Chains A and B, each alone.
Chain A
């Protein structure tokens, strides 16, 4: 959210003759400049483990835990995880805990300059398995459900492929997680080795600033992401519910964290530029990642209007895994609306919750 002194604008609006348009303009000024940010991530939680900047949360359910298999959520390194617990009534985590699920989330925190040498494999080998063990121990459960969103889902899939035989991973749920980078849409062009000076960027920045990555994401749909968002809120400025949802989304979209340098280098080079994962060429700490090692029950969710992770980047996973129980669930939504908003609450939440319940008995 933009923070600046809006008093002169407010004074100017106040001086204008009063009518509907001026009232709306006044409200729009408040929405854009003076209203406080909405409070996100309100589901009660406790920290059960920390490592460097990462924290493992356990969400305290309002209702008795009835599901024996705990859920561990893994999120992307570049955003904050509260998209999964956005606001009461619009929170996937709240929805699950209210239905007796035991939910844990690994929050990566904000990488500092000292973390610029952290690779993806450090997170996949040193953090996720430990977090999974902590969850199993804390919950006293015999099996675990892994849930990954966006890039966090890619990391979760790699982790599952490497640890399927070492840890009791019963279910794997992936939400808009890229696996095949053969055709990554506009990014395939923009990240072309001939033009995109990856090493120069990483060595200069250390950690790649969020704004740098956000610029690329916004450029995917420049008009809608710049003018469109303001047109949208201006035309709905008399609808408080829409204002709240708009503020929540803007807060999350503009509230990212820097991408640890080496992890960024690995992500762009090994995935976008060399597409190693789907071709069984990716090595994590010297061990080859074979997606065919995944035997857990799989729910792979594709959002057809997602322009950050395209459907063709997600679908091939189902052909690679060895899971007997695998579902490719295709929904008409965008990268974010797949998990937030009225439609997500009405359609996606019940579907995922039912799938988890059915596969956790």
Chain B
């Protein structure tokens, strides 16, 4: 084994490279969260989360980001609800069709994957087109519809994965007792994977809260709280984006606070999603 030493050296060299790479990945991600925490948390105070900006979001130095926090929750909440109403029947349909081995399930999954790949700015542009067509101005409603479309593929595909985990024997048992496919879907499949469905909802909600490019066109921006579906609504990502560019440190502090709140929401939501999916694994029959 003359080249034994050389092979060992190569092994060590690449292992070192890998450890460095892993360090870079973990380090950079930690650095980002760290920066947001360090910059954002000092800016957070009671005013920040209980008041709307005074004197304009760009120039006004007083007030907080309540408009953006509530706006984001309304918008992502509404969008998630709408996406849920569309995704659940889709996932159940996919489950029923997969069993009958038709091509329909394949085609629908394919279309959902296509939708998943569409960049959010394109959803924004498309939303703008539709709004011009029906005469809808930038508003909470328009934002909800577009964000729901953006969430649809994420939620439907996650639900699809969850529903697929339900053991076939369980469905067969239900069918052999004389249940229709719809009854099986609703009473057996749905009940069996409730935590998984909730996880899918949370994942989609997280995406909806964080997205900026699609709401830029459709939800608009405002300093006040929306009182109806037809008024524009502020969102946290856009609050960050707009307020970061001002010359005033007080306003920039609002941007950092918004970033901290947004990151916090996302982390809580995804932790909850992970917890739920772990719970799901415990309860399913495998």
Partners in one complex: no
Which residues of B approach A to under 8 Å, CB–CB?
Answer: none
